[in-house]
Amino acid sequence: MSVQVFLASRNAKKLAEMERILAEHLPGVTVLGLDDVPAYDEPVEDEPTFTGNALIKARAGLARTGLPSIADDSGLCVDALNGMPGVLSARWSGPPKSDARNNELLLAQLADVPDERRGAHFACAVAFCRPGVDGTSDEIVVEGRMDGRVIREVRGEGGFGYDGLFVAADRPGLTTAELTKDEKDAISHRGHAMRQLAPLVAAALAPEQDR
């Protein structure tokens, strides 16, 4: 039986990635995004941590749609920039959001940083909220990480965000934008987090499937 889960995102690639990983544990799952539900005012992501921002978005999704809701907050943490852009990754170069401008700014900021000091990691927190008893919500949060480094030019046509600049330690030689979807899912920060979360979501929603 089909199960609908809401993901607080308009990023088509992120929605497809989430559905692929969830489907391994929850066959028939359909992940709906912001463009698939009635419009609502998205909350301000003003927490200083990935976990805090993921919970803000998941709670808002549940409140507005009534569907079990998932939200993630992720970003690139660069050693030479003291962990930045971090939670500001998507809006690093200012509004409007632009992957291309973010990548250009990051390259400019690291222009004089030698290769041996270009270490970085992607971090991700994924929150799941569903209706609980007495009007409360049940919440789960998991985290994932992918270590690697930032290279000096954008390579690859896949992925999104900073993928074209990031080479993962587990797949040296290729940016995460040059990996296949399955290869990226296997090592990515979001993949690590979702593989932790997926069986928990499946267990939480199993009674609804059986009705």
57 is in an annotated binding site: no
* Rounded-to-integer distance, Cα 198 and Cα 67, Å: 16
Strands across the sheet with 166-168, in order?
29-32, 3-7, 69-78, 119-131, 137-150, 166-168
Active site residue 36: no
Does 13 carry a binding-site annotation? yes
Please, what's the largest Cα pairwise distance for the chain?
60
Q: Any known ligand binding at 97? A: no
- Measured CA to CA, the distance from residue 59 to residue 30 in angstroms comes to 19
Q: Is 137 annotated as a binding residue?
A: no
| Residue 195 is assigned to a ligand binding site | no
Contact 108, 121 (CB under 8 A): no
- Known binding residue 9? Answer is yes
Q: Is 11 annotated as a binding residue?
A: yes
Residue 10 annotated in ligand binding: yes
73 is in an annotated binding site: yes
Choice among 36, 41, 73, 182 that is catalytic: 73
Spatial CB neighbours of 63, under 8 Å, sequence gap ≥ 6: none
Whether 51 and 143 have beta carbons less than 8 Å apart is answered as: yes
DSSP 8-state assignment for residue 66: -
Q: Which residues are annotated as a binding site for substrate?
A: 9-14, 74, 160-163, 184, 189-190
The catalytic residue positions are 73
Q: Which residues are annotated as a binding site?
A: 9-14, 73-74, 160-163, 184, 189-190
Q: Which residues are annotated as a binding site for Mg(2+)?
A: 73
